[in-house]
Structure 1
Amino acid sequence: MYKNILVPVAPDHGAVIGNSMKAARALLAPGGTITVLTVIEAIPSYISQYLPQDQQDRNVAETEAQLAAEFAGQDGVGVLVKVGHAAQTILDVAEEAGHDCVVIASHRPGLQDYFLGSTAARVVRHAQCGVHVLR
């Protein structure tokens, strides 16, 4: 059983979020916490020059509000939205906050994943805590 579980999710993958949360709850020790993390890629500078200056902040606030509404009233569940590279940000948050487990969904690997590596594969290879991968 784990006391502090990190569940990285993409907000556009609704069915996967449910499966990830179900697995996290099954692995959670009594009195433990689950942190739902969404990582938003930074807006490239060649695009951001055509957008309002606070667009990135608005994207973060909107995503955070959506997640908070989805998990409102669920004891021991917090939400966090960060900007950065998905795999590295997941690893950084897991280490900084002292998570003892990461529950992450993965798609079936294709040829491109063998060359580039999926987010889940990078988290598995570099995490300093337990990682449960769901397919």
Structure 2
Amino acid sequence: MYRTIICGIGMGSRQTAVRLLRRAAGLVDEGGSIVVIHAIENIPHRHLTGIPEEFETTAIVDAERKLVSLCKELAIPATVEVRIGVAASVLVSAARERSADLILLSSHVADITDYVFSSIVDKVVHHAGCSVLIDRRPDQAHDGSVPQEEDALVF
């Protein structure tokens, strides 16, 4: 179906990440590729906030480790890339660089920041040069409960 899929995995739950990776694996052509992208927002004035310089490096290494481990656990061959930048721009850029034909990402419950700044999904949909598939399933069990902490992929 798709030759190259960019699978955007954010700070959501493990359940969402698993669902996205399995969906990508089901949609990729034989011999195609899945590229898992995670964006870490750039902190331009980190010296003013007291955040140590090594924060970004540590965050990149930690996110890569978790995502590579999850792909191995699910037996889904994928390339993992963690980049610094605005998530929507990172996803669109990665898709262009790889000539991807699909960006797969998950939506979330909208909050006030989405109305003020626009959502990542909205920006990707409007700027991507390829198809975008949005997984809209909530990160809740059928009984409405929130996933347990051990299910979280905390980056």
The TM-score bracket by the shorter chain reads 0.7 to 0.9
Instruction: Name structure 2 gaps, 5 residues minimum.
Output: 137-155
Relative distance call for 1:109 and 1:46 in structure 2 (3 A) is closer
1:84-123 mapped onto 2 (5 Å cutoff): 84-110=85-111, 112-123=113-124
Q: Corresponding residue for 1:18?
A: 18
1:27-106 mapped onto 2 (5 Å cutoff): 27-47=27-47, 50-72=50-72, 74-106=75-107
Q: Normalising by the residue count of structure 1, what TM-score does the alignment of the two structures yield?
A: 0.87
Q: CA deviation at 1:95?
A: 0.6
Q: Normalising by the residue count of structure 2, what TM-score does the alignment of the two structures yield?
A: 0.77
3-state SS, counterpart of residue 72 of structure 2? coil
Relative distance call for 1:48 and 1:93 in structure 2 (3 A) is farther
Query: CA RMSD of the aligned region, Å?
Result: 2.0
Task: Name the structure where strand makes up a greater proportion of residues.
Answer: 1
Q: CA deviation at 1:12?
A: 3.8
Q: Corresponding residue for 2:150?
A: none
**Aligned equivalents of 1:101 and 1:119: distance in 2?**
16
Q: CA deviation at 1:45?
A: 1.3
Cα shift readout 1:35-62 (whole Å, capped 9, x = no counterpart)? 1111001124145663433221121111
Do 1:31 and 1:76's aligned partners in 2 also have CA atoms closer than 8 Å? no
Instruction: Name structure 1 gaps, 5 residues minimum.
Output: none
Q: What amino acid is aligned across from residue 91 of structure 2 in structure 1?
A: I
